[in-house]
């Protein structure tokens, strides 16, 4: 069900992967948090790809953006949104 999301996470060459929209203050906040901690990130815009957004929702239950994954370990870890990221780090 989440083949596209899993493929994106599997080929990530960064510390974190975020699913975002273009005009999203919480997405920008998450990027600033990661930048301040010198952690790398990649973002994937779901604004024009409803199918990808629905895969993220189906996989995580998280209906808002950003949807952030920690991909530093052997398995991706769903972190949540920007507030969750602050607590996580």
- Concatenated DSSP letters for 6-39? HHHHHT--SSEEEEE-SS-HHHHHHHHHHHHTT-
- The pTM score is 0.94
Q: What are the structural domain ranges in the chain?
A: 3-88
Looking at domain 3-88, its CATH superfamily turns out to be Glutaredoxin (3.40.30.10)
For 47-79, what is each residue's pLDDT tens digit? 989 999 999 999 999 999 999 999 999 999 999
Dihedral angle at the C-alpha atoms of 54, 60, 63, 64, nearest 10 degrees? -110
């Amino acid at each position: 069900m989440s083949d596209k999301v899993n493929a994106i996470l599997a080929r990530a060459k960064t510390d974190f992967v975020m699913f975002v929209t273009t005009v999203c203050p919480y997405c920008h906040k998450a990027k600033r948090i990661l930048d301040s901690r010198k952690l790398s990130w990649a973002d994937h815009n779901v604004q024009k790809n409803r199918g990808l957004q629905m895969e993220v929702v189906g996989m995580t239950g998280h209906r808002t953006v950003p949807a952030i994954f920690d991909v530093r370990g052997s398995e991706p870890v769903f972190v949540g949104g920007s507030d969750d990221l602050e607590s996580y780090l």
